[in-house]
Each structure stands twice: as C-alpha cells, then as structure tokens.
Chains A and B, each alone.
Chain A
Amino acid sequence: MALLQISEPGQSLDPHQRRVAVGIDLGTTHSLVASVRHGVAECLPAEDGRVILPSVVRYLDPAQGGSGRQIGFDALAAQVDDPANTISSVKRLMGRRRDQVADVDKLSYAVVDDNGMAVVETVAGRKTPMEVSAEILATLRFRAEDSFNDDLYGAVITVPAYFDDAQRQATKDAAQLAGIHVLRLINEPTAAAIAYGLDNGSEGVYAIYDLGGGTFDISILRLTRGVFEVMATGGDSALGGDDYDQSLAAWVLAHAGLDMPGNASERAGLHREARRVKEALTDADTARFSATVGGQRIERDVARADFEASTRALTDRTMAAVRKVLRDAGITRDEVQGVVMVGGSTRMPVIRRTVGEFFGRDPLVNLNPDEVVALGAAIQANALAGNSRDGDLLLLDVIPLSLGIETMGGLVERIVPRNTPIPAALAQDFTTYQDGQTALSLHVVQGERDLVADCRSLARFTLRGIPPMAAGAARIRVTFTVDADGLLSVTAKEQGSGVEARIDVKPAYGLSDEQIAAMLQDSFATAQQDMQARALVEARVDADRMLVATRSALAADGDLLNPDERAAIDSLMAALQAAVSSEDAAVVEAATDALAKGTEGFAAQRMNRGIQQALAGKKLEEV
C-alpha cells in the first residue's frame, strides 16, 4: 500500500490560501509533527535534522537564571543526573489522580495530588501534566512555524483510542496552553490506518495493533471508498514498552538476588539499560546487561528467549485485548484482511511473531512505526483545514469506553455503550425517589464495570430547582453528548411540569478557562508573545476562515438564496473585509460574528440540500 495521494497536481489550493495544518503525535516516550507538502505527508525535522522529539522536559532551578527548562534530547541527556526535575512519560499522568497512575512510586520524579489532579513537584514549582505536555507541543508548533515560515492554522493531535474523557480533555487543554488551535483529536490507530494509505482502492477489514511506550491500542477498521469506519476499539492505557523495560529490569535484579533500588537515579539508569538491552535483542540473540546497583556490579548476558519469557504476561495481556475487540466488532480473526503494526514497541520480534501467528498473516510493517501516527494525523489535518479536494477521506470513529451515571446502590446505568459511533447524543429519563425532592445529584462515570467504584469518575453535578412533587412524578432527562473529538458534555432537564433547569458539565480533571488564561500569563513557552497582538492575529485568522468558508459556500450553493438574501450576505462580507484591517480585535470579532449570524439560515438550507442529495444516492462528483 502506498501513502494516500491527497491532491492531484493542479488541484491544490492557491499557495496563498494554503493553511499550515499539522498532525502531532504526542507520545509517551517521544513526539513528532508532520504535515502534507506537495501532496505527501512527511515528518518535520528539527534544525539538527532529527524528526523525533523525546517527550521529556527538564525544569531548571529558577535561582540559577537562564531559560528555566530543557525540552527533548537535552532533557533526555540530563535524566540520569537530574531525575527529580526531568519529566518523562508525562502522558501517563494526563487526566489522572495520583492514585490512578500505574507504578507512580517507581517514577524518578515526585508526583503529588493537587485538587484531585496528579502534578509534578519540581525545583521550579508544581507543574501540571498539561503544562509539561504544552512545552512539548509548543516546541513542535514552533518547529512547524519555522518550517513554513507562517503561523500555524491548526493541528490534529492524536490520542490513544483507549483514552478516557478526562485524558482527552487534558490533551486538548495542553494544546490550548501551547497556543494551538485543535482541529480534531483523533485516535492513534485510526491515524495509522490513514497513513497506511489505505488509498481508495483498498477495501476490507483491518486490525491496527499499536504498542507504544506507555499505551496499547487495538482497533478494527472497515474501509470502503475512502471511509474509515472504526468498528471497535480496545486496549490498555497503562501498558507499553516501558513495562517491558521494567519487567526485564526486575527479572535481571531477581536473578542477581537484588531488590529494586530506592535511589531514583539508579532506577532511571536500570531502566535505561533495560531499554538498551531490549532494543539490542531486536536483531541480536543475546545482549549484555551491565549496571551498578547499591555499589554492586551486575553483568549478565540476556538471551532473547529470557527477555520474551520475562515479559510474556505483558504480551498475553495485549492478545486478550485483541480477542475482546474482535468479539466487540462481531467478526472472526480470519475476516481480518491486514494487520498494521504501529508504535516503536512493535519492533520486538516476539510481538510481530505472536500477532502474525494469531491472525495467520504477516503484519504490515513497511512504514516507520514511530512516524506512521503523525503522518496519518497530518493527512487528516490537511483535509480538515480545507487544503485537499472534497470527499477523499472521512473518519467515522467510535467512543472507546461506555459512559453512564450512578444509580441507587452504587450501580452504573449505562447511557452511551462503548463503540457507539460519534458524534452521539443519548438520553435517559430518571425520576425523584422522595416526595417534594427539589434537587438531584448526578455522578457521571466511564468504564465497563457494573459498580461505580470500578469505573472512572468523570464529574458530579446537581440539578436544582425541580418543582416539588410526589416521588417518581418528576421526569428528568439526562442527555450525554459526545462530540467528534470524543469529548463529553452532560445536560439534565426536568420536563414533567414544563419547568426547565439544565447544567453543562466539564469533566473534573479538565482545566477551567480561567486556569488556562492564568497559566498562559505565567512564564511559559508561549508567553513571550504579546497577548494583545495574539488576540488580533487570532481574530483575523477567524475572520479569514469565515470569509473563505462563506465564499466557497456561495460558490457551491448560491442558487439557494433570493436576491435580497444574497445582497444581505454580500454586504456583511464587505463589512468584514473592511474590518479585518482594523487594529482592534473586538471590531474584527464583531464583524465576524455578524457574518456568522447572517449566514445561519443559508447554512441550514445548504445542509438540507446535502442530505437530500446523499439520499438521492448521488455520488459526490455529481453534486
């Protein structure tokens, strides 16, 4: 399979209209940024030519002066010397409480709880996982802006398919902190499928096995005529290559009769050595493990078979998830037409062999497993930014984990089952259980278990102002809405008596807009930009987006409007065009809003026409 050719020569937009849109793979161990240039997706290199950015941030003692932090390879190099202030694998902390982070005590830095959120204690103060991630994202953003010598229009950021709502929200917050307009969050395996070209010719069912540094995803996709339909997805958000390193290190220690050292620097050194040995065993049959623990020297030859045996439980866990996702998709293993391998950890021969034997076919490995996710995200970003021809690509994704609400006795009432296509809105009616009850507490959870205690708590809120009535008489409709990013909002409304009360919730682990604003003011990668200048730039970008969108809508469906309607829209466009040159962001925003309001009716008519045409069975080319 070849890379998807996203636009034919001569079909690309005018270069001045081309928007810089990138795909970002924000990984546990490393991150990448990619973009579509001349119809082909490619990873953007740093000045030194390397495309990989280690997802590592080191905070320096502010008393020492200087820039305050190191990001990427510099930080990675400092990890053994300064483990307490060098944050790696921060993805594992995203959207988590401290007690929800697997093996939190084995990390080389201190993690504490702050308002229910895991944060890192550094010499430069407490850092939220979103701030740390934002440093990485901002570095990639600047890399893209330098490459194109232009502002970034927007980005598609990938997340593990198995990420829950809090983890997705945290990722989006991190992007906002880094000053990035998120076009869409998409799932890593889906991105990989896109990159694998799965050009319009390939049809059928594909399995994407994605074993990264810290997460494991398995997705089943069906491809038809450029539509990527996720049939089912599963995995483990706390299982990855890091665990293989830990298992190997533990195995070596056990055979040397030693315990895991308490010293963070020694632990970091051990894991580094374990990773080196693991990587060496990809090609070699044996590799030498050398480390010093508590003054005692460890020298041991590790055979590949030893490594595979010491980590078998981990490999088995991934295969149990594979079987489960096949059941969810309602298909058997021989219906799978191809298996795509993603993530650096799929370089391990044991993984390729195990997966290959299970599906009875050799996995596809012709794209660099480190780059494939970023490349797919770039292709999707290019399409979402409107740079590519209409209709070549459509992603239909699903929600990875069931969403529900706590009912009596600590049980979960499931409202959105896992693998429901998104966007989705599902409602369920609840009632009061006491006479005269005027308020109802709602607890939103995510997970597959029947007991609330076994699920992930996302949010709690209270619906107040229910008119007093007999128990069971109130009808409270709770609606869960999941948008195309997989993010949830919940509303509750009492409708029995015509009295309406509603509330929107944002998951408890997200940042509020005020917090984000405050963090943006802090010493931070994007803070050197003048906030006001940035507001003006953003207002102009929005205005431009609105003008281009309206122009193309008029070109496509202008015939829906009568002359008066057309004249009204034309004059609003002219007004916005004039306002763009203003130096006042508020003036630009007001004119943009006016055009948006003035085109609402037109947008509705266009949507109806599109639906009618789809129904009439017309192909896009005929529309």
Chain B
Amino acid sequence: MNLQSNDFELFGLSPAFGIDRAAVDARWKDLQREAHPDRFASADAASQRLAMQWSVRINEAYQRLKDPLRRAAYLCELNGAPIEAESNTAMPPDFLMQQMEWREQLDEARDAAELERLADEVAASRRSRVEALRVTADEQRDFPALARQVRALMFIERFARDVELRLDQQGQ
C-alpha cells in the first residue's frame, strides 16, 4: 500500500464495477480518520505534508469510485481500453437521434414543469444505462464495449447538467 496504489487497492476492493457504496463511504471515512491534515494540525511539518498527500489521494480515489461513470472509465483505463473522449466521438445513430430530440425539448421548454419532466426522462435513461455498465464490466468483461458505453453516458451527463442549469435559472 502506498500513494501509487490504485483506487481499488487503496479502498481494499477487488477491481469491479459493482461496489457496495455504503462500504466505500465507510472506508473513505476510516482512511481519512488516519490521514486527514486535521489529525496532524499540531504535528511537525513533515507529517503535515504527508497527511496532505495521503488525504488528497484518498479523496481522489473516493470521488472516482463513488461516481459510476468515472469508476467505469477508470476500469477501462486499468484494463487497457482508455476512454479518449476528445478524440473518439463516434456514436450510434439512434443515440444521436435521441440526443437531438432532447436538445429540441430543452430549447422549447417553457416552464419548470416541462424542464422537470425532461430531467426525469434523462435521469431514467441514465439509470438504465448505468445498470448496463455493470453487465459489460463484471459479467462480459468487455472493456472496449464498456468504453463506448461510457462515452455515450458522458453525453447524457453533459445534457443533464444543461437541464439543471436551466432549472437553476428558473428558480431565480
């Protein structure tokens, strides 16, 4: 165990998409109990530096493990199928059609209720796609396919953020 250990090793997990979220949360807190800079506030400078490094590393791993999309992307990377979101934007045509439909709905949405409806639809689509990640990653262990699914989900995430932004503006 050291600062170079991968996220799964650091959290004592076997590298898989399916995780016990409650166990990850609990492990995060146990690790921070040991490493957080607050534990070393009256210690020497060397310990404080180390605490900062460890605490940062633990938070980084936690952020990645608890987010299904980032966890899947990380698994792809560990298994030699990096996401390369910038250079690889090929998407199936039906997926692109749905994206365009959603964009239109967002542009035309008049009130908060319409936006909420769209947000719900996007969330439902996201949920079923995230569930599909588990099958691809843990049962089929097909990481190039997993990378494609992750790229599609990244589109959906971005769109969900745009919907939320509009909702925020409505609230003001």
Which A positions have Cβ atoms within 8 angstroms of B? 19, 154, 183-184, 224-225, 227, 229, 320, 323-324, 327, 383-386, 391, 394-396, 420-426, 481, 483-484, 545-546, 548-550, 553, 595-597, 599-600, 603-604, 606-608, 610-615, 617, 620
Contact = CB atoms under 8 A, between A and B. Distances in A.
B143 interface: no
Given A183-B41, A611-B31, A424 B46 contact: no
A483 B168 contact: no
A565 to B, nearest CB: 15
B78 interface: no
Contacts of B30: 614-615, 617
Interface in B123-172: 164, 167-168, 171-172
Interface string B34-69: 111111011111110011101110011011000000
B7 to A, nearest CB: 13
A380 to B, nearest CB: 8
Contact of A394 (B29, B47, B168): B29
Contacts of A394: 29, 32-33, 36, 38-39
Given A484-B37, A550-B44, A324 B29 contact: no
A396 B29 contact: yes
A612 B1 contact: yes
Given A384-B41, A611-B35, A421 B51 contact: no
Chain B CB within 10 A, most for which of A224, A550, A614: A614
A599 B36 contact: no
A617 B38 CA distance: 21
Nearest to A619: B30
B33 A620 contact: yes
Given A391-B33, A607-B51, A546 B44 contact: yes
Contact of A603 (B26, B46, B164): B46
Given A385-B42, A423-B55, A614-B31, A484 B63 contact: no
Given A549-B44, A611-B35, A483 B59 contact: no
A82 B130 CA distance: 64
B56 A383 contact: no
Nearest to B26: A224
B70 to A, nearest CB: 12
Given A229-B29, A610-B35, A611-B34, A549 B47 contact: yes
Contacts of B45: 596
A386 B31 contact: no
Interface of B: 1-2, 10-12, 26-27, 29-39, 41-47, 50-52, 54-56, 59-60, 62-63, 164, 167-168, 171-172
Considering the complex of A and B, which 9 residue pairs feature the smallest CB-CB distances, nearest first?
A610-B34, A384-B41, A600-B46, A386-B42, A614-B30, A484-B37, A603-B47, A549-B43, A614-B34
A486 to B, nearest CB: 12
11 contacts: A227-B29, A384-B42, A386-B42, A396-B32, A424-B59, A481-B56, A484-B55, A549-B44, A611-B54, A614-B31, A615-B11
B54 to A, nearest CB: 6
Contacts of B10: 615
Nearest to B119: A327
Contacts of A183: 41-42
B44 A596 contact: yes
A452 B29 CA distance: 35
Given A607-B50, A610-B35, A423 B43 contact: no
Contacts of B12: 615, 617
B50 A421 contact: no
Nearest to B45: A596
A484 B38 contact: yes
B42 A603 contact: no
B35 A607 contact: yes
Nearest to A153: B42
Given A184-B41, A320-B172, A420-B63, 15 more contacts: A227-B32, A324-B171, A394-B38, A421-B62, A425-B56, A483-B52, A484-B55, A548-B42, A549-B43, A549-B44, A606-B47, A607-B47, A607-B50, A611-B35, A617-B30
